[in-house]
Structure 1
Amino acid sequence: MKSQAVTKKKQRAAKAMATASDMRTHQKQRAEEKRAAISAQLNNLPPDLGRNRVLDAEASAAFWGVSLPHWRRLYRSGKVPSPIKIGERKLGWRVGDLADGLAQRSTTPSAL
């Protein structure tokens, strides 16, 4: 009886791990789809306009497909492009710099 309970626990744990792995894969796919959609939208804009547009931290995080807290961690560790100051306490990132950084990040094997 006890061995059956242990086996069921192991089965549930294995299923939970597989589900978590599926979720991570799905999240990565969604992030890649978002990046592709944003890139497609930028391709329709005049080259100067799209690349010089300034995004705040929240929009920059969304552009890179990461959460705002993770974006802040990346900024503090120097793993995102340098921001520009758009206010006394507000930073912004140029879309062109973000796109270049994202392209560099995707070609670097251990970027994050």
Structure 2
Amino acid sequence: MPAYPPEVIVVGYSKVPMSSAAYGNHGETFAISLVVDRASHVVLDADCTADTHVVREWLVQRLIGHRVDLDPTDILNELKSSYISPARGSMQQAVIDAWARYGRHLGHGDS
């Protein structure tokens, strides 16, 4: 059996509203990329396609340290209460997609 690296990368996607600045720069897709520790399921690093450095860093700070094998409701609620933008729903959906994709990975299904 091959030895796997201690981390796995998980990417979540969503559609971006046309009213968002990210729509013009990144097309119709918002993505978050997570580096997840295989043993603890904890997000070690993250990035996203948000249009500004401030938003990217803000989101990364909220994602690092969370377990992707647990419910993401706390993160989603924080985004709802603290991120005021037309792209908030896209950001939330990308989180949901990444968490679901990781859950399928744990179940050994195709992600």
Query: By the TM > 0.5 criterion, same fold?
Result: no
TM bucket normalised to smaller: under 0.3
What's the TM-score, normalizing by structure 1?
0.27
What's the TM-score, normalizing by structure 2?
0.27
Task: Name the structure with the higher helix share.
Answer: 1
- Specify which structure has the bigger relative contact order, considering alpha-carbon pairs within 8 angstroms and separated by 6 or more residues: 2
